[in-house]
Structure 1
Amino acid sequence: MVQAEKKLFVLDTNVLLHEPLAIYSFDEHDVVVPMTVLEELDQIKDRKKDVARDARVAIRALEDAVGSASPEQLLAGVPLVGVEAEQRAGTLAIFPDHQVSFPDMVALPGNHNDNDIINSALYLQQTHKDKAVVLVTKDINMRIKAKGAGLRHVEDYRSDQLVDDIRYLATGFTRLDGDFWQRVGDVRSYQQGRYTEHTLPRSALGEEPLYLNQYLVDDGKEFCAQVREINDETLVLRDLGRERLMHYHAWGISPKNIYQGMALQALMDPDIDLVILTGPAGSGKTLLALAAALEQVVEQRRYDRVLVTRNTPEIAESIGFLPGTEEEKMMPWLAAVTDTLEVLHKHDESPSSSLQYIMDKANIQFKSVNFMRGRSIQNSFVLLDECQNLTPSQVKTILTRMGEGTKLVCSGNLAQIDSNYLTAVTSGLTYLVERFKMFEGSSNVYLNGVVRSRLASFAEENL
């Protein structure tokens, strides 16, 4: 590749916090880290928040890349050697933005870190006319400011993005046109435990993308199956049947539509370790998960306890100033779960007494995501709520805590992201759906349809 085709990427601080090893994600192109970014990382690394770890990892990655380079080499750019060293010809440079004056260009006013980083990119754009200078930041407002200031190339960081459009995210089920059995000629059926399984040619479903534990439904009223095995020639389906799915029940709750039936089947299946529930508000994600948890802990005694956790966005550090124990501090963020418990027992003679009895009987514990690192969770039914606000690295931290005999349910609505730097396509929930769709121990269901109330349904469709 000729030098004129190379790009020069200027990284914002939030890129390194989002992906600490981001400097290795730009292949043969050159990477520049302004001095202001190093100062921001230095201020963040000592905070008592999860982001401090990412800052420290990013700083160590920069140190490893710089090595023993001289100041002159650091300004010019030191070669970036990654895992695939033979494919990398890019460099890493530290730009001393505080030492540069801008006499011949329009610069944004100083004393603001974002402006200093944008000014660095503008200066490099003016002095490196043989390269496309690209500012990479996850801050939407900063991208708009940079374009307004005259920077020609501004991008979001997308190296960890698995889908380009949320509309292409796997839903966990596929609707087939017409009658399924009319399109199948060669099929071999046999009994597998209490289920009937069918082996048929892969070509019977044409070019439909298929994943393990994916559900298949047709336009009829009877057929519903689950993909159990896939190879180039054949396909194994487990025949579930719509009527059987609609008669599933857990803790007095039965499905209201076929999507809830699929979700409840996955939640009650002991062979599935990870269930991912996505969908709009009011589609029944938390209700189904909690009902399945109580059924399997209290009635079936398959698990020892119910562990409910979620992150505390924006004000994670403020949890320490709330009164009480960790569980009492978490209650404001887990009101959705306690509301659901009340719904499940609203017809009891004494709902408040029933609620406390079940909390003790099921050993329901409320924990913060902030304190999950280092734990090993055994024989538990874990409900991770509001997953859309987690980054891919946070999701990985939580999943690696799950021990033997534990079932994890991740639920979230990608239309309700609170994080400043996450979008629907970069959310940890999206990452989870795409990475685990071929894992035999996981199942993903998009709960299509709002069943909370007609008011909630109308609001979801029209607001």
Structure 2
Amino acid sequence: MKKIFVLDTNVLLNDPRAIYSFEDNDVIIPLAVLEEIDNLKTKSSDLGFNARESSRILEELRSRGNLHDGVELDSGGTVKIVINGGLELPEGLSSSKMDNRIISTAIHLQEENSEKKVVMVSDDINLRLICDAYGVKAEEHSSTKLKEEEIYSGFKEINCSSSLIDKFFQEEKISPSELNQLNDSLYPNEFVQLTADDRNKNTALARFDGENLVTLRYNKSQPAKIRARNREQQLAFELLLDDQIKLVTLSGKAGTGKTLLAIATGLSKVVDEQAFSKLLVARPIQPMGKELGFLPGDVEEKMGPWMQPIFDNLDFIVHRNKDARFAYQKLLDKDLIQIEALTYIRGRSVPDQFIVIDEAQNLSLHEVKTIVTRAGEGSKLIFTGDPFQIDNPYLNFHKNGLNYLAHKFHDQKIAGHVMLKEGERSELAEIASDLL
């Protein structure tokens, strides 16, 4: 039975081509959605870009026919713009809120279409809850939602004999077939812990290079005098220090050292090895809790509160290094470090730089695509974030730019991912992260 899908504004703002993902069913766009898109079209952010792109797609469909009557899609479905029941809202819903007008559209369509099931599609949790209260089925847009098994960790454990582990250490590599593993069951730059299945319980850490499991290359490295304190941090350094890997994603809860490892490696690569011309650190402007309103001062002063976590990590590194090479104010003056908000990255091409994108869990799929496509020749991109702490109201653990990027690039030789688990900030921070 064909269904009627009513789209909320945030669906189109996250994915302007979402109207094409409902097969042969009918897609309804409430008039209130168009009004919200129109209000956002002038913004210079990704929301503004997606608003304009949504309008362009609808304009293209309008050339095929009248959107009020419905335009047929190649999939067999239709797209239609609907005024929400002559603006007659059900009792309890105020017309002053756009969300209520969108919900009202779904309610009236359900009353008028007994033969077709009406489904409200929204990434807004509260809107879905209100739909439930009025008896309208509501669901999250799932075309870009990752399933639990699709969340990539970048690590697996394999049991084997002690003799194979001895051979691995002697030859510094081993074929997956010797472990009864097929090559296509491992991904490039995926890490493996080999564990002996006898009483000795010998272990070895390896990285899959696309053909063989090989020994780690950077297990003794300490970029900017920052050393790995646990297994996952050691694996992270393997990816961060390898210049052949152009995209690294690091996820994990607060205090696992994601940002510190990335910045320390970037400083070492720029200052010591001179492998890159500059360290660029950026993060989205996404507040936790209530906003403070407009901040005084110039752009640099306004960005100060948002970028303070980056300066905290730089302070930690500077105190670990007594020489003046890593005094970040001098590096800033020499233009070897640049710290900025992601708002200004659109339209740029960033070559030959070590780029760290912090708090990437708050990025949408389109924002991640925008950032990655800015990377010029010779640049390396590092995305760090905690997918368990998302401040963006339209994203969650299964739908955010960080996890999506790790999933999409997990079979690429130029990319790698590690999920860090152990907190190293302090005993208090570790306990709080687990309990609260």
Q: TM-score, normalised by structure 2?
A: 0.90
The answer as to whether partners of 1:327 and 1:366 remain within 8 angstroms in 2 is no
Query: 1:99, CA displacement in angstroms?
Result: 2.2
* Counterpart code for 2:82: F
- Checking the alignment, whether the CA contact within 8 Å between 1:175 and 1:218 is kept in structure 2 is yes
Shift of 1:329: 3.2
Change (3 A) 1:181 1:353: closer
Q: 1:164 aligns with which of 110, 124, 147?
A: 147
> Which one of the candidate residues 328, 331, 339 is aligned to 2:304?
331
| Whole-Å separation in 1 of the counterparts to 2:179 and 2:370 | 39
- Residue 141 of structure 1: how far off its partner (Å): 0.5
1:315-354 matches, cutoff 5 A? 322-324=296-298, 326-346=299-319, 354=327
Asked if 1:227 is matched to 2:208, the reply is yes
SS in 2 for 1:411: strand
2:79 aligns to what?
92
Distance (Å, rounded) in 1 between the aligned partners of 2:17 and 2:178: 40
The size of the alignment, in residue pairs, is: 429
Question: Superposition pairs for residues 145-156 of structure 1, below 5 Å?
Answer: 145-151=130-136, 153-156=137-140
Query: d(CA) in 2 for partners of 1:180 and 1:436?
Result: 33
Give the SS at the match of 2:159.
coil
CA–CA distance in structure 1, aligned partners of residues 283 and 425 of structure 2: 22
Deviation sequence 1:216-266 (CA, Å, 0-9, x none) = 11335551111111xxxxx422222xxx65422111111111111110111
Tell me how far 1:49 sits from its aligned partner: 3.4
- Give the deviation of 1:107 after TM superposition: 6.7
The answer to whether the aligner puts 1:113 opposite 2:94 as a matched pair is no
- Offset, 1:106: 5.5
Contact 1:31 1:93 in 2 (8 A): yes
Conserved in 1, the CA contact under 8 Å of 2:2 and 2:25?
Answer: yes
Query: Structure 1 residues 45, 119: closer, same or farther in 2, change over 3 A?
Result: same
Specify the SS of the correspondent of 1:254.
Answer: coil
3-state SS in 1 of match to 2:223: coil
Contact 1:246–1:257 (Cα < 8 Å) also in 2: no
Number of the residue aligned with 1:84: none
Task: Select the residue among 27, 38, 42 that pairs with 1:42.
Answer: 38
1:371-404 CA distance string (max 9 Å, x none): 1111111111111100000001000000001111
User: 5 Å matches for 1:241-256?
Assistant: 246-256=219-229
Given the superposition, is the C-alpha separation of residues 201 and 418 from structure 1 closer, same or farther in structure 2, using an over 3 Å criterion? same
CA distance in structure 1 between the aligned counterparts of 2:3 and 2:47, rounded to whole angstroms: 29
Alpha-carbon separation, structure 1, partners of 2:185 and 2:306: 37
Instruction: Tell me, yes or no, if structure 1 residue 55 matches structure 2 residue 51.
Output: yes
Cα distance in 2 for residues equivalent to 1:319 and 1:180: 61
Structure 2 counterpart of 1:28: 24
Q: State the alpha-carbon separation in 2 of the partners of residues 47 and 336 from structure 1.
A: 27
Deviates more, 1:350-359 or 1:367-376: 350-359
Q: Give the drift of 1:446.
A: 0.8
- Deviations 1:175-226, CA, capped at 9 Å, x for gaps: 22355755999x9x97xxxxx4433427613799421100111335551111
Question: Does structure 2 retain, via aligned residues, the 8 Å contact 1:77–1:91?
Answer: yes
Give the distance between the partners of 1:394 and 1:266, measured in 2 at CA: 23
Displacement of 1:127: 1.0
Distance 1:281 1:181, change over 3 A: farther
Asked if 1:421 corresponds to 2:402, the answer is no
Amino acid of the structure 1 residue aligned with 2:416 = S
Q: Check the 8 A contact 1:108/1:115 in 2, yes or no.
A: yes
- Asked if 2 retains the 8 angstrom alpha-carbon contact of 1:180 and 1:223, the reply is no
Relative to structure 1, the CA distance from residue 181 to residue 381 in structure 2 (aligned partners, 3 Å threshold; closer, same or farther) is: farther
With normalisation by structure 1, the TM-score equals 0.85
User: Please, which of 380, 394, 401 is the counterpart of residue 353 of structure 2?
Assistant: 380
- For 1:236, the aligned partner's letter is N
Q: CA RMSD in A?
A: 2.9
CA contact (8 A) 2:85 2:108 kept: no
CA distance in 2, matches of 1:92, 1:454: 55
1:364-375 aligned within 5 A: 364-375=337-348
Within 2, Cα distance between the matches of 1:183 and 1:301? 37
* Kept in 2: contact 1:17–1:55 (CA 8 A): yes
CA deviation after TM superposition for structure 1 residue 67, in Å = 1.7
State the SS of the aligned residue for 1:346: helix
The 1:178/1:449 distance shift into structure 2, 3 A limit, reads farther
CA–CA distance in 2 between the matches of 1:290 and 1:107?
52
Shift of 1:98: 5.7
Q: How far apart in 2 are the matches of 1:348 and 1:96?
A: 64
Partner of 2:234: 261
Query: What amino acid maps onto 1:403 in structure 2?
Result: G
Choose the corresponding residue for 1:296, options 246, 269, 272.
269
Matches within 5 A, 1:123-272: 123-151=108-136, 153-161=137-145, 163-165=146-148, 168-177=150-159, 179=161, 182=164, 196-201=172-177, 204-205=180-181, 209-219=185-195, 220=201, 222-229=203-210, 235-240=211-216, 246-272=219-245
Q: Could you say which residue in structure 2 is the equivalent of 1:193?
A: none
Aligned equivalents of 2:142, 2:162: Cα separation in 1: 39
Question: Does the 8 A contact of 1:282 with 1:451 survive in 2?
Answer: yes
Q: Aligned partner of 1:138: which letter?
A: D
Displacement after TM superposition at 1:452 (Å): 0.9
Q: 8 Å contact 2:165–2:202 — kept in the other structure? A: no
Q: Are residues 1:77 and 2:70 paired?
A: yes
Does residue 411 of structure 1 match 2:381?
no
Is 2:282 the counterpart of 1:306? no
The letter for the 2-side match of 1:175 is: E
Q: Which runs of 5+ in 1 are unaligned?
A: 82-87, 191-195, 230-234
Report the Cα offset of residue 310 of structure 1. 1.0
Give how far 1:347 is off: 5.0
**Cα deviations across residues 66-86 of structure 1 (Å, max 9, x unaligned)?**
22524xxx34422013xxxxx
**Which residue identity does 2:374 align to in structure 1?**
R
